Amino acid sequence: MSDIFYGFELLLFKRFLAHPEQWVEWRGNLAEKINDAGVIEIEDVGEIPQSLWFLSVALHKRQRALIQLIKYDVKREQEGKFFRSSETLLSKYLHLNQFTEFQLDSIFKYGEDNRLPSEIFSCPNVRKLSLKYNGLDYLPADIGRMSLLESLALTNNKLQVQSIPYSLSFCSKLNTLLLDNNLLDALPGFLLQMPSLKTVHRHGNHNYFKATFMWYHTDVHYRIIPLTTNNDKSKDILQPASLEFWAAKSVIGAKKDFFNDSVFANTLKDYISEIYSLFHICHYCSRACLYNVPGFKVITFKNPYLGNTCVPFQHWACSIDCARALEVPARNEQIAAACELDLKYEQYIHDCQEVYRGQRSSPLCVCSSDSSVVNLSRPKQPDTAKCTCVIS
């Protein structure tokens, strides 16, 4: 069985989640068509509506996995068992198959609900996740659950810096991150704290190079930018009303990988993940602030970064002191790196000039023949005698 989970499978279960009566109907129909060999003959199924095209694809390409789920669900119902509150048809399908790669490119049409189900982030064995061309405007905090993730492709979406959660840093094995063609004007600052990263693609982002040029060449004091309250968004933020809220806020601010810590109950993990996007996380201190609290955007540069020069990073700071604590050391490091590169370049030019002067002042060729040995400043055509040339 293939260990890749494809987009047509996700669309199939999103449909059945929205219309459970269709699952019950088709589960019964398909269960009757399973023959003694444990397979379903496609011609016996009959006509499948165009709106369920992904079911037709699943019967052709993933029939064994689908039959396994049908048998499991029928048996569960016969025994009078029910799904637990955290269990869904999709989560059971993923659990039964233990996929290691998700290929979920271009699965949503323009204007469709492109929210990603939380179940896909709860698969412990996934190492590759591709979500290209889906019009995503945010990445769920649940991405931090994928502790074995090595490659994440987010090319051609609508992601901004603030829509990529800090919880991505919990993916400690991530080595490849593709962020091409989004709406980024810099890279998220927490990427600098992920030593496992070896490849980060960022080209084609909206105003990326314009912003880089502006922040790199203007006064360094403009790299700390005050942010005012977003009144429109703050209206949608729930006010703290429980001890659970304050506990979750403290955990978020501490930047702790709560997903992979057995101390936290699953219900608390789910709750923290649910409210994670309501907070800005200070990249310097251990403080999380609701989005309606003013703060500071801080721009720093890493030179070089993964083989690239002049790479901008964006951080959020809760106070001017935290902002300066982020910007000043980064600026000093940037200046020191630039001076080091200048020295290397000057040394390279000096070495090239020395080599050139040496070639100009020394003989180019020494020719020897049977009758004489002549030092020449320039080579000339040898006579009929046998001649060997040695370049000095």
User: Which tens digits make up the pLDDT trace of 88-143?
Assistant: 999 999 999 999 999 999 998 888 889 999 999 999 899 999 999 999 999 999 99
Tell me, letter by letter, the H, E, C secondary structure of 141-154: HHHHHCCCCCEEEC
Question: Does 85 have pLDDT greater than 50?
Answer: yes
In the block, which residue shows the tokens 């049977």?
Answer: 370
pLDDT for residue 371: 47
Tokens found for residue 121: 């982030």
Instruction: Answer with the residue of higher pLDDT: 326 or 334.
Output: 326
Cα 307 to chain centroid distance, Å, stands at 18
Mean pLDDT to the nearest integer, 58-79: 92
Name the band, by pLDDT with cuts 50, 70 and 90, for residue 316: very high
Instruction: Answer with the residue of higher pLDDT: 324 or 234.
Output: 324
pLDDT for residue 237: 53
* Residue 221 DSSP code: G
Share of the chain above pLDDT 70, in %: 86
Nearest to 296 by CA among 275, 279, 276, 282: 282
Name the band, by pLDDT with cuts 50, 70 and 90, for residue 362: low
Mean pLDDT to the nearest integer, 234-254: 77
User: pTM for the whole thing?
Assistant: 0.84
Pairwise CA distance, residues 246 & 240, whole Å: 7
pLDDT for residue 357: 85
Instruction: Answer with the residue of higher pLDDT: 196 or 217.
Output: 196
Instruction: Answer with the residue of higher pLDDT: 241 or 107.
Output: 107
SS3 187: strand
Mean pLDDT to the nearest integer, 322-342: 90
Share of the chain above pLDDT 90, in %: 62
Nearest to 90 by CA among 104, 105, 110, 111: 104
Which long-range contacts does 25-32 make (Cβ < 8 Å, 24+ apart)? 26/52, 26/55, 27/70, 27/73, 27/74, 30/59, 30/66, 30/67, 30/70, 31/70, 31/71, 31/74
The structural domains of the chain, with segments of one domain joined by +, span: 4-205, 227-343, 363-392
Name the band, by pLDDT with cuts 50, 70 and 90, for residue 385: very low
Calculate ∠ Cα 84-86-87, nearest 5°.
65
pLDDT for residue 218: 67
In the block, which residue shows the tokens 């989560």?
Answer: 91
Lowest-confidence segment of 115-119, 214-218, 336-340, 388-392 by average pLDDT: 388-392
* Residue 278 DSSP code: G
Name the band, by pLDDT with cuts 50, 70 and 90, for residue 234: very low
Helical axes 63-78 vs 53-61, angle rounded to 10°: 100
pLDDT for residue 376: 45
pLDDT for residue 391: 42
pLDDT for residue 228: 84
pLDDT for residue 77: 85
Question: Does 186 have pLDDT greater than 50?
Answer: yes
Per-residue b/e over 345-372, b at no fewer than 16 CB within 10 Å? eeeeeeeeeeeeeeeeeeeebebeeeee
Pairwise CA distance, residues 64 & 332, whole Å: 59
Q: Return mean pLDDT, the chain.
A: 86
Name the band, by pLDDT with cuts 50, 70 and 90, for residue 1: very low
Pairwise CA distance, residues 130 & 99, whole Å: 13
What is the number of other CB atoms lying within 10 angstroms of the CB of residue 326? 24
CATH of 4-205, one of 3.40.50.1000, 1.10.3720.10, 3.40.718.10, 3.80.10.10: 3.80.10.10
Strands (E), the chain: 4-6, 101-103, 128-130, 151-153, 176-178, 187-188, 199-201, 224-227, 279-281, 288-290, 295-302, 311-317, 365-368, 373-376, 388-390
Name the band, by pLDDT with cuts 50, 70 and 90, for residue 15: very high
User: Which tens digits make up the pLDDT trace of 207-230?
Assistant: 776 767 777 776 667 899 999 876
Pairwise CA distance, residues 128 & 136, whole Å: 18
Highest mean pLDDT among 80-94, 233-247, 294-308: 294-308
Tokens found for residue 295: 């703060």
Tokens found for residue 85: 């509150």
Nearest to 155 by CA among 121, 185, 129, 192: 129
Pairwise CA distance, residues 356 & 377, whole Å: 15
